[in-house]
Structure 1
Amino acid sequence: MNGIETVERRFFIASIPADARRFARAVRGHWGVENRLHWRLDVVFSE
């Protein structure tokens, strides 16, 4: 944004053996559920 680069680091603890790609897919999939739910609520309530 406005030519400024930012970096965010997040740490997760899991008991599944997974490489970085598989783990990233699982994390993104989890947040996808949250985002789709709120998008539907916004559409239903015209927000």
Structure 2
Amino acid sequence: MMRLKQIGSDHIEERAKDEVRASLIIFTALCATIRLAPFLIRKFAA
């Protein structure tokens, strides 16, 4: 059976890719913050 692509599905796929990319950037930034937080706290507390 042949699947037909709906009109506008390309736009939806591009938007989904952008959302995934943004989520990965936010996740990476949060991980970096969590990893660096103890060092920064020690540095500023001293």
Normalising by structure 1, report the TM-score. Answer: 0.49
Greater share of helix: 2
Q: Which structure: larger Rg? A: 2
Normalising by structure 2, report the TM-score. Answer: 0.50
